[in-house]
Structure 1
Amino acid sequence: MRETKQKNARKRKAGRRHPLATVALIVIGLGLTGGAYATFNATGSSADATTSSASDVTAGKQLFQANCASCHGIEAQGTDAAPSLIGVGAAAVDFQVGTGRMPMAMSGPQAEQKPAQFSQKETDQLAAYVASLGPGPSIPLRDVTDGNGDAAKGAELFRVNCAMCHNVAGAGGALTEGKYAPPLTGVTGKHIYEAMVTGPQNMPVFNDRNITPEGKRDIITYLQFIQANPSPGGFELGSLGPVAEGLFIWIFGLGSIVALTVWITAKSN
């Protein structure tokens, strides 16, 4: 009897100290923490607009199935031709559809901007449907996209985070494999904000911990400022930097010198 009790006690003691129990607790803790973090990031931003009505979701689903499901799947689950839209949020739809990038006119390295194919109401309905499929960035409120921030701070943030692709003047630039960073002239503050929080094409995502909503508003203010105030130094040459300026000097400057030399020689003869 004593030996049996001792064996049972050792089994209970070994069960309580099983090494996998600690691992399981860590995994569960990490899962709960990650889930709470994702939920907070998806729904906790003060820059997010309110959600849409159930009728908008229904109308958006009909529009989606008629116009988008052939590429993205009947339930937006994604296919070999296009990615899943579950969890991308309303902001991604508003940007892609509102700028005419979606639906794409043809396959290519990236979707190009063109006139929008849907009205703003239809775009809102599509965004409402996709937002109902999973949490994601919402359409921003007007107070962070109106350009009433600090242009000087926005210029600093833009130079650090964006200028290496979009050029310091927002004129855009070439990337690899036929891709490019588009120019930011004429882009609305709402679409600039949505691009920062969704990361379309080759652009990285700048969440509120990378750049705060106030910082994003400052960047929008800077871009609007440089568009409203042309270069004080004369002809901008597209604001493309030293390459365009050097090419201009090489063609027109050196060309003028050669032409003058030929004229002087011809006149002397």
Structure 2
Amino acid sequence: MKKLSARRRHPLAALVVLLFALAVTGGLYAALAPADKAQAEATAQSPNGIEEGKKLYAVGCASCHGTGGQGTTDGPSLVGVGAASVDFQVGTGRMPAQQPGAQVPKKPAKYTQTEINHLAAYVASLGPGPNIPSENQYSPENADIAKGGELFRTNCAQCHNFTGRGGALTDGKYAPDLEGVSPKHIYEAMVTGPQNMPSFPDTTLPESEKKDIIAYLGEVNSDQSKSPGGFALGGFGPVSEGLFAWVFGMGALVAAAVWLAARTAKVKKS
């Protein structure tokens, strides 16, 4: 016991324990983490990955956002926007923008996912910001769809309408259609708040509630739930439905009233 106690007090004992803990942690991560994903993340965040991202940035982004991401009159600063913002904007094809305007539309991506990861790593090195989420963070598996619908109607439907079909805003801006948008990009949009959208960090909307919203959008836009009662009227809710009822419903009633009045008058004459 005295010998063991003496070894514990050895000056190198703490270092040995630390090295052992690091070795165990690294071994468990290598054994349990998906190999391809772990390798991709390590490559993107490595000095070489950041350097590759810097080269891509200089060619495709610096003219608008500045050589160091500080921003210009043609584009905002990228310092502190985080890797998630880059993955969303470039992954959905919104960046690089074709031309300035009230809002940059979605279009086919110009970069591969590897190149996007490098760009994201470089922008992340300019200042801390939201990271690219893992699949576990945005996967709708076991999420509460009903709660997601309530959260979406409370926080999002004012712009996107209650099924996520989008809608017009002011000054030529609009809330985009969310049908077909990947769960990862929906999660990143909530975290980063692109363009006219407010951001919803975990302090405002916890990760579990973001997953509930993603699950709700996946459900209302699935093939099984599309207009089970008939024509969807664009999925815009009471505005288009009320207009349809007013134009066609009231029109039919007026036509019926005119027909009855004419028929009654004809019967009286005879």
TM-score range, shorter chain: 0.7 to 0.9
Count the aligned residue pairs.
217
How far apart are the structure 2 equivalents of 1:94 and 1:255?
A: 50
Cα gap change, 1:256/1:134 in structure 2, threshold over 3 Å: closer, same or farther? same
1:247 is aligned to 2:240 = no
Deviation at 1:151, TM superposition (A): 0.7
Deviation at 1:171, TM superposition (A): 1.1
1:73 is aligned to 2:66 = yes
How far apart are the structure 2 equivalents of 1:160 and 1:251?
A: 30
- Aligned mate of 1:187, from 181, 185, 188: 181
1:90 is aligned to 2:89 = no
Cα distance per residue 1:6-52 (max 9 Å; x no partner): xxxxxxxxxxxxxxxxxxxxxxxxxxxxxxxxxxxxxxxxxxx9662
1:210 is aligned to 2:204 = yes
Cα gap change, 1:254/1:104 in structure 2, threshold over 3 Å: closer, same or farther? same
1:140 is aligned to 2:133 = yes
Cα distance per residue 1:119-160 (max 9 Å; x no partner): 111111111110111100000010121211111111111111
What are the ranges of 5 or more consecutive residues in structure 1 without an aligned counterpart?
1-48
Cα distance per residue 1:164-199 (max 9 Å; x no partner): 111111111111111111111100000000000101
Deviation at 1:64, TM superposition (A): 0.3
SS in 2 for 1:176: coil
- Aligned mate of 1:170, from 155, 164, 167: 164
How far apart are the structure 1 equivalents of 2:226 and 2:53?
A: 41
Larger relative contact order (C-alpha < 8 A, sep ≥ 6)?
1
| TM-score, length of structure 2 as denominator length | 0.75
Deviation at 1:253, TM superposition (A): 4.4
How far apart are the structure 2 equivalents of 1:86 and 1:192?
A: 22
Kindly provide the amino acid, as one letter, of the partner of residue 203 in structure 1. Answer: M
Cα distance per residue 1:208-252 (max 9 Å; x no partner): 010101111111011101111223222111110122123333444
- Aligned mate of 2:230, from 220, 231, 234: 234
How far apart are the structure 2 equivalents of 1:60 and 1:169?
A: 37
Kindly provide the amino acid, as one letter, of the partner of residue 235 in structure 1. Answer: F
How far apart are the structure 1 equivalents of 2:122 and 2:133?
A: 17
- Partner residue of 1:99? 92
Kindly provide the amino acid, as one letter, of the partner of residue 185 in structure 1. Answer: E
How much identity, in percent, do the aligned residues show?
58
Kindly provide the amino acid, as one letter, of the partner of residue 81 in structure 1. Answer: D
| TM-score, length of structure 1 as denominator length | 0.75
Kindly provide the amino acid, as one letter, of the partner of residue 134 in structure 1. Answer: G
What are the ranges of 5 or more consecutive residues in structure 2 without an aligned counterpart?
1-37
How far apart are the structure 1 equivalents of 2:249 and 2:146?
A: 35
Deviation at 1:200, TM superposition (A): 0.5
Runs of 4 or more consecutive aligned structure 1 residues displaced over 3 Å after TM superposition: 249-262
Deviation at 1:61, TM superposition (A): 0.4
- Aligned mate of 2:53, from 57, 60, 76: 60
How far apart are the structure 2 equivalents of 1:188 and 1:177?
A: 28
Kindly provide the amino acid, as one letter, of the partner of residue 217 in structure 1. Answer: K
- Partner residue of 1:159? 153
How far apart are the structure 2 equivalents of 1:225 and 1:174?
A: 23
How far apart are the structure 2 equivalents of 1:238 and 1:144?
A: 31
